[in-house]
Structure 1
Amino acid sequence: MSYRIIDTTPLDALAKPLLDGLQHEYATRYREFRSDSEASAAQELARYPAALFAPPDGAFILVEHEGEIVGGGAFKRYDAHTAELKRIWTHESQRRKGIARRVVEELEARAVHLGYRRIYLTTGFRQPEAWGLYFDTHYVPLFDRAIAPEIHVRLPFGKDLRRPGDVDSLDDLRAREPLGARQ
């Protein structure tokens, strides 16, 4: 089975399955916490202009398999040395096959190529598969794990691309309080 990586933009018609899949995923997973989960999910996906996910500061990739888009993801500039991963998604029929891991690896390689030294990301408290992916790919949790994930709402992770496992280089990214505390 071959999977092809496509460098593109969220505005490309090929990106529609990824964006629709993410919207459905967000709306479904957080429905019991947001009465307007569909609108909230759509708003989250429209939050950033597509230009942020394009070189020289960002990237947006899709994974194509047998003519279908089955995964993808993106990053944008977080600060001068840090890329921020966004929109990591795998079609539910293709999960547990290493696609999300490959997306993360591909995005990390592009981030290094663009001169970034670190990666930052947040994921939701209702996305344990994502937490597992980030733990498995050597991302460091930047939140107090002794506090229930739903208190944090968004769970930040980071990774030093030059020295994976170096937590000191990530200290300025660490959450000082739960990211949901002010919502």
Structure 2
Amino acid sequence: MRIEVVEYAHPDARLLVAGVQQEYVERYGEQDAAVVQAGDFEAPNGVFLVGYLERTPVASGAWRRGGPQDGDAEMKRVYVVPDARGRGLARRMLAEVERTAASAGRTRMVLETGLRQPEAIGLYLSAGYHPIAPFGAYRDDPLSRFFAKELG
């Protein structure tokens, strides 16, 4: 998989964001309520990544500055299209999201995911993430889980 930095408004980014939002609707009954703006993913405050197999966009991942502690980056929009799952692409995207955040001086990656995404929770735990206190838009949601990993 080839991974490229793109603008949040890029057609491939928009396609993948629509896919992840549809996934949330299927699993939770609604789209993500967290406020996300295109400027959140512009350097030096963040990045949006798209993964390609050949020329087809199949995966996304992003981070933006912010979280409960100074130095945090918040991971957003990690997604792999259904037809490309089971190939390790999410793990590769996760590693690139972490690498770009660390290169930008971020010291910890934080994220929120939900109980109806057990494969995501498994990925994060296997990649060294640990549970943390709730934060952000879903801090009071009983289906939400929050994780962090030190970058370095």
TM-score (norm 1): 0.74
1:62 aligns with 2:60: no
How many correspondences in the alignment? 144
Shift of 1:143: 5.3
Of the two structures, which has the highest relative contact order with CA contacts closer than 8 Å and spacing of 6 or more? 2
SS at match of 1:84: strand
Aligned-partner Cα distance in 1 for 2:84–2:9: 23
Decide which structure has the larger Cα Rg and report it: 1
Amino acid at match of 2:22: H
Shift of 1:72: 0.9
**RMSD (CA atoms):** 1.7
The aligned residue for residue 60 of structure 2 is: 72
Aligned-partner Cα distance in 2 for 1:9–1:98: 24
Q: Give the unaligned 5+ runs of structure 2.
A: 135-140
- Bigger strand share: 2
Aligned-partner Cα distance in 1 for 2:133–2:92: 25
For residues 31-50 of structure 1, give each alpha carbon's deviation from its aligned partner in whole angstroms, at most 9, with x where no partner exists.
2xxxxx2xxx1x637x2111
The aligned residue for residue 176 of structure 1 is: none
Q: Give the unaligned 5+ runs of structure 1.
A: 32-36, 145-150, 163-183
For residues 89-141 of structure 1, give each alpha carbon's deviation from its aligned partner in whole angstroms, at most 9, with x where no partner exists.
00111111111111110011111110011110000121001001101111012
Aligned-partner Cα distance in 1 for 2:62–2:142: 23
Aligned-partner Cα distance in 2 for 1:98–1:125: 21
1:140 aligns with 2:98: no
The aligned residue for residue 21 of structure 1 is: 19
Aligned-partner Cα distance in 2 for 1:92–1:14: 16
Which one is further off, 70-79 or 81-90? Answer: 70-79
The share of aligned pairs that are identical, in percent, is 35
The aligned residue for residue 101 of structure 2 is: 111
The aligned residue for residue 44 of structure 1 is: 33
Runs of 4+ in 1 over 6 A off after TM superposition: none
SS at match of 1:156: strand
SS at match of 1:44: coil
Aligned-partner Cα distance in 1 for 2:106–2:7: 20
TM-score (norm 2): 0.88
